[in-house]
Amino acid sequence: MSSIEHCAINGRFLTQNATGVQRYAMNVVKALDSTLGNDERLPIIAPTGTTNPDFVRLPLVTSGSFGGHAWEQIVLARTDHGPLLNLCNSAPAFKKDQIVCIHDANIFAAPESYSPAFRMAYSRLQPLLVRRAARIATVSHASARQLARYLPVRKEDIAVLPNGHEHALEWDAGRAETAPQVVSAIGGRGRQFVLALASRAKHKNLGLLAKAAEALDGLHIDIVVAGGSDGIFASDLLEELPNVLLVGRVSDDDLAYFLKHALCLVFPSMTEGFGLPIVEAMALGCPVVASDCASMPEVCGTAALMASPFRPDEWIGHIEALKRSDLLKGELRGRGLEQVRNFSWTNTAAGYRELLQNPARSLAQRGRSRSSNALSLAVVIATRGRPAVVSATVRHLLATQTVRPDTLVVSCVDVNDASDLVSDPRVTIVTGRPGLAAQRNLALTNLPPETDVVVFFDDDFVAHRNWLASAACAFRDESRLVGLTGHVVADGIKGPGIPFDEALRLLDGAPSPGSRWHEPYSPYGCNMAFRVSAIGDTRFDERLVLYGWLEDRDFAAALAKQGGRFVKSDEASGVHLGVKSGRVSGERLGYSQIVNPLYMMRKGTMTLAQVTDQVLRNIVSNFGRMLWAEPFIDRRGRVKGNLMGVADVLRGRLEPERAAQLSVFNPLPLRSGGKAR
């Protein structure tokens, strides 16, 4: 009896155009057909009228008088076969005994690349599949991480079964028809060319090539764009550029010819589940220049040149280096041929067979090659008047993080604020004017120029050991990610504070937070990270001298105007001690609670609805608890400050920095004790 008896394959892909997803399905079933035993049969169920691919051990079974999604959800769902293998992102929504390959999370990560109808359909279908299917598979570890951020599934429960490369070895450049003429014409003008693949999808990022085209023209390099159709691009993008040749759809044999003669394949996508053209190029000895995000570092390993999908200058530099160095081209060809051995259709098909036999099976890790091209992380901690606290949290951070920061800056008013960290060679101490915004800005100006991601921790925040690792992974995977804030397991700011030892216990005992993302989300300043290239010249507003969190919100809102994503990640967790030493007077805080939101509304970093909610909640909380105030909160002072702020606003005085000039019974600290969320 066959070990996969009663199983079947969803054959809807046989009726669809051959994009990367359908190529994956076809090559997996080809590998299954060639590796099944002589007595084994695995039927492919497809709509009536489907052309028979004539597999030996995968007989075609057709049914139904229609096709498309309706066929899949109605006809296929009612078949008598047991376990069903679905290889193209969709499947019957309510069938339990099935394996479903979801190639990527692009409808969530890059929604602008898809039509509203497509987004609506898949954003509703895929959560159902994840909840009901026996097992979810995907094509890369990066894609597994992405799926776990958007769908109700743990990345550990997703089987990673990548694309293979063997199909490209079957292409025959000798049978090419279009490519030889194009290549000959380019060579006849004494020029070379790079190859790109066309797509309408915005996340494919072909616009980067338009920005690089002029410089490449100066290097006597053309850009050949294959795929799609001749008129696929807007006139202001590529088609009017003199060194860009749009050759439209070409055969696989023509593609092989282009790859064998190209200076390199350029692959500037902002997100990909896998990136099949990368391994096709490497298998045919073509060097690759690819984006340094999402799955590309995993697929490329050390066998390609990597560049930011937002930095045309980096791509130009890599392409010029390849043009000038035959040695570099030879090294990349050799590494590429070695790298593609990690990606085999035979191994992937074997993995699916194992899952059909036992969907819960833990598969051997496949295709987990990594790039040496890592993000450079900097941690900034601003502090004042709490040397013991900052010493404890920084030393814990350095001792426990699974990914160590390349730079750690402690920004102080006086070096004594940094305690014994002054003598630690791993810590950079900078001193300057007081105030959270000013101290953070000082740290930003002292970051190394190569810094990719800057993390801001409060001096009393205790980070989980994987905080930096999960943040680095998120910024690597998601090229459009600008800001990230973590999950606060416990926040002492809402009570009397949390002792350091108790914070460690809470972190150790906290349940696994999962990988889900929540967006849009305004960063919470006790633990947040930003992409440095997105920050540019933006700085924290130093007029916001008090009311911690609103200056964070103001900073993030200023960056959000430029586009990008801001999320809360459950993976990056920690405990905010909420240390109360050196807190400001209630008057100062109460004044800022009124004036700061209104000032931000005038700047355009808070809406009227947000300001109304923020101000009213603070006023109601302060007045409502004034007679029964918490021992660690100066409610009476806050009420007085609220009234002073209202009076100044009515007089037309909207100056948030005035809070620092009010009478005070405690030294002015870095951050106040009344954050409201």
Q: Is the pLDDT of residue 2 over 70?
A: no
What percent of the chain has a predicted confidence (pLDDT) above 70? 93
Closest-CA residue to 471 (of 534, 531, 417):
531
pTM of the predicted structure, to 2 decimals: 0.85
Residue whose pair of structure tokens reads 């616009």 in the numeric block: 207
Mean pLDDT computed over 503-530: 88
Q: What angle do CA 300, 288, 277 make, to 5 degrees?
A: 75
Are residues 152 and 182 part of one domain?
no
Full residue range of the structural domain in which residue 75 is found: 8-164
Which of 441, 348, 472, 474 is closest to 35 using CA atoms?
Answer: 348
Query: Quick one: 152 and 17 in the same domain?
Result: yes
Q: What is the pLDDT of residue 266?
A: 98
Model confidence at 364, pLDDT cuts 50, 70, 90, reads low
- Domain harbouring 124, CATH code: 3.40.50.2000
Last residue of a domain, one of 164, 192, 223: 164
pLDDT at 111 over 90: no
Q: Which backbone phi and psi does 140 adopt, to 5 degrees?
A: -160, 160
In a domain? residue 357: no
> Would you state the pLDDT for residue 581?
65
Question: Does a structural domain hold residue 123?
Answer: yes
pLDDT, residue 368, reads: 52
Same structural domain, 441 and 463 = yes
Residue 73 has a pLDDT of: 93
Give the count of beta carbons closer than 10 Å to the beta carbon of residue 610: 16
Asked whether residue 666 is assigned to any structural domain, the reply reads: no
Considering the domain boundaries, does residue 671 fall inside one? no
pLDDT at position 239, please? 65
Residues 300, 444, single domain; the answer is no
Among 555, 576, 597, where does a domain finish?
576
Query: Residue 48 has what pLDDT?
Result: 94
- 574 strand-pairing partners: 463, 488
Per the structure, the count of domains in the chain is 4
Query: Are 439 and 301 members of one domain?
Result: no
Q: Are residues 195 and 122 in the same domain?
A: no
Is residue 651 one of the residues assigned to a domain? yes
- 231-251: per-residue pLDDT in tens? 434 334 666 789 999 999 999
> In the structure encoding, which two tokens stand for residue 380, read together?
């900034």
Q: What is the mean pLDDT of residues 25-54?
A: 94
CATH number of the domain where residue 448 is located = 3.90.550.10
Task: Give counts: helices (H), strands (E), the chain.
Answer: 22, 22
Report the alpha-carbon distance of residue 46 to residue 369 in Å, rounded: 36
Mean pLDDT across the chain: 90
Q: Say what the pLDDT of residue 546 is.
A: 78
Which of helix, strand or coil describes residue 346? helix
Classify residue 74 by its DSSP letter. I
Of 16 and 343, which is predicted with more confidence? 343
Looking at the fold, whether 386 and 533 belong to one and the same domain comes out as: yes
Question: What is the 8-class DSSP label of residue 76?
Answer: G
Tokens 């339990």 locate to: 96
Looking at the fold, whether 94 and 199 belong to one and the same domain comes out as no
Q: Which residues pair with 411 in a beta bridge?
A: 382, 430
Q: 110 or 581: which carries more pLDDT confidence? A: 110
Domain boundary (317, 341, 365) is at 341
Work out the average pLDDT over 91-103: 94
Q: Per-residue pLDDT tens for 375-406?
A: 899 999 999 999 999 999 999 999 999 999 99
Contact 99, 84 (CB under 8 A): yes
Quote the pLDDT of residue 676: 34
Beta bridge partner(s), residue 135: 99
Say yes or no to pLDDT of 275 above 70. yes
Classify residue 385 by its DSSP letter.
Answer: S
The one-letter code for the residue type at 500 is F
Rounded to 5 degrees, what are φ and ψ at 553?
-65, -40
Single-letter amino acid, residue 158: I
Residues 319 and 199 in one domain: yes
Look at residue 366 in the predicted model and tell me its pLDDT.
55
Give the pLDDT mean for 133-139: 96
Residues 289 and 242 in one domain: yes
Query: What pLDDT digit, counting tens, does each position of 453-509 carry?
Result: 999 999 999 999 999 999 999 999 998 899 999 999 999 987 889 999 999 999 999
Co-location of 397 and 546 in the same domain: yes
Note the pLDDT of residue 495: 83
- pLDDT on residue 81: 67
Whether 65 shows a pLDDT value over 50: the answer reads: yes
- Residues 465, 469: Cα–Cα separation, whole Å: 8
Tell me what pLDDT residue 667 has.
37
Rg of the chain on CA atoms, in Å: 29
Answer yes or no: is 667 within a domain.
Answer: no
Instruction: Describe the strand order of the beta sheet including 8-10 as a list of residue ranges.
Output: 60-63, 44-47, 8-10, 84-86, 98-101, 135-138, 158-160
Q: What is the pLDDT of residues 303-346, one digit of tens each?
A: 999 999 999 999 999 999 999 999 999 999 999 999 999 999 99
Q: Is 349 strand, coil or helix?
A: helix
- Is 640 a domain residue? yes
* 276 close to 28: Cβ distance less than 8 angstroms: no
- Asked if the model's pLDDT at residue 264 lies above 90, the reply is yes
| Statement to judge: residues 283 and 394 lie in one domain | no
Q: Taking 50 as the threshold, does the pLDDT of residue 1 lie above it?
A: no
Q: Is residue 515 part of a domain?
A: yes
